[in-house]
């Protein structure tokens, strides 16, 4: 029996396998109102029929100013919640679990989408953009510098994360993930390269993690004890003076104690122009370090493209689950194919696709 296709239980829910879909931005809210639409239903629905265990949505902003682009999804009002309910319902009808990644882009907000335009960087207010915020007035590369969040602004960010979490549960999401990676707001607070504050939210690691920990604690209190809560980290900034894997392992232990159930370990995104040593599975070692030193369940991600790679990550003990992104874009039914490759006869093969089942699976 493949370990990759064994179930994983977190709190009050069980995911049918350990091959999960990583959050991937679609930049497809063309009305610029944060409301997911038919594209999101079709995209996420196909992944559900394709056999994935847990599907995480794209980074979904907890308020309007927290969007990476004006084409991002959000969850700060009733209309957005209602459309997410429709999508969640279909994913559930296919037997998959679905989680939402709650995010605030901080200094990397108000940018042009990654496709559909030749423009890049910060969208000026005169072109429909907005002023960005961050822990300190330190710009990301050539982006516009953010306004430093004051105490009232920090309280608003915490409240917006908590309220979005409450809406997520009301919409039926099985899992919530707090996005503290890839150079977005909570990562900006964690890194001394983007956080040069001298108050209780800056300085040593405990202070830099204070905002994230408060969001985790208040989110856990607001959503109760049954809903699994994940946190996504970047384990390194790939730059001198930035966050290190050892620091992220320490913070992982703290968020686990505060109510998080699993840490989703990625890397990079906070410093422009750095060299990232890309190779198949290049981030797995970070997930393994966190799992081993902090004794926290982890998921691994990063150029994992084959069933054999994913199986090896789990059997080696490096992580408890595997996240894939681009491979699921290439083949939304990759989980069905992976099960065949590993000799697993899935009991949840879609009936509509029965004629396409590989006959030698056993």
Q: How far is CA 216 from CA 5, 164, 181, 221, in A?
A: 29, 13, 15, 9
Specify whether 184 is catalytic: yes
* Model confidence pLDDT, tens digit, residues 243-300: 999 999 999 999 999 999 999 999 999 999 999 999 999 999 999 999 999 999 999 9
Token pair in block for residue 353: 């696709």
Output DSSP code: residue 127: G
Cβ neighbours of residue 337 closer than 8 Å, sequence gap 6 or more? 307, 331
Question: Between β-strands 8-10 and 13-15, what pairing exists: parallel, antiparallel or unpaired?
Answer: antiparallel
Nearest CA among 27, 8, 31 for reference residue 18: 8
> In this prediction, what percent of the chain has a pLDDT beyond 70?
99
- 112, 184, 238, 353: which one is catalytic? 184
Backbone φ/ψ region at 29: left (φ over 0), alpha (ψ -120 to 50), beta? beta
362 falls in which pLDDT band (50, 70, 90)? Answer: very low
* Model confidence pLDDT, tens digit, residues 148-173: 999 999 999 999 999 999 999 999 99
Cβ neighbours of residue 198 closer than 8 Å, sequence gap 6 or more? none
Residue 361, pLDDT score = 47
pLDDT at 114 exceeding the cut of 80? yes
1 falls in which pLDDT band (50, 70, 90)? Answer: confident
pLDDT at 55 exceeding the cut of 90? yes
Token pair in block for residue 293: 């030193």
Query: pTM of the predicted model, to two decimals?
Result: 0.96
How many residues comprise the chain? 362
Q: How far is CA 207 from CA 200, 201, 211, in A?
A: 5, 5, 8
Q: How many CA atoms lie within 13 A of 76 on its CB side?
A: 22
């Amino acid at each position: 029996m493949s370990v990759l296709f064994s179930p994983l239980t977190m709190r009050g829910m069980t995911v049918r396998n350990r091959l999960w879909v990583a959050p991937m931005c679609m930049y497809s809210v063309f009305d610029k109102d944060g409301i997911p639409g038919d594209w999101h239903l079709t995209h996420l629905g196909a992944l559900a029929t394709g056999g994935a265990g847990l599907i995480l949505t794209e980074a979904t902003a907890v308020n309007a100013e927290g969007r990476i682009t004006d084409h991002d999804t959000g969850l700060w009002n009733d209309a957005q919640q209602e459309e997410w309910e429709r999508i969640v319902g279909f994913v559930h009808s296919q037997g998959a679990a679905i989680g939402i990644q709650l995010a605030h882009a901080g200094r990397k907000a108000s940018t042009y989408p990654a496709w559909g335009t030749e423009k890049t960087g910060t969208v000026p207010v005169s072109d429909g953009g907005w002023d960005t915020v961050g822990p300190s007035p330190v710009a990301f590369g050539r982006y516009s510098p953010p306004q430093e969040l004051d105490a009232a602004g920090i309280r608003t960010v915490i409240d917006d994360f908590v309220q979005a979490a409450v809406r997520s549960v009301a919409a039926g999401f099985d899992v919530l993930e707090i996005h503290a990676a890839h150079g977005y707001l909570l990562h900006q607070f964690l890194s001394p390269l983007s956080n040069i504050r001298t108050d209780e939210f800056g300085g040593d690691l405990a202070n830099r993690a204070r905002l994230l920990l408060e969001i985790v604690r208040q989110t856990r209190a607001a959503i109760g004890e049954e809903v699994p809560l994940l946190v996504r980290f970047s384990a390194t900034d790939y730059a001198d003076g930035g966050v290190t894997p050892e620091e992220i392992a320490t913070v992982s232990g703290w968020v686990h104690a505060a109510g998080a159930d699993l840490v989703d370990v990625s890397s990079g995104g906070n410093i422009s122009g750095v060299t990232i040593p890309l190779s198949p599975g290049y981030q797995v070692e970070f997930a393994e370090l966190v799992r081993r030193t902090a004794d926290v369940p982890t998921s691994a991600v990063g150029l994992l493209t084959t069933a054999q790679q994913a199986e090896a990550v789990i059997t080696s003990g490096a992580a408890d689950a595997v996240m894939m992104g681009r491979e699921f874009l290439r083949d939304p039914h990759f989980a069905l194919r992976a099960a065949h490759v590993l000799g697993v006869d899935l009991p949840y093969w879609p009936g509509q696709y029965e004629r396409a089942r590989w006959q030698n699976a056993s």
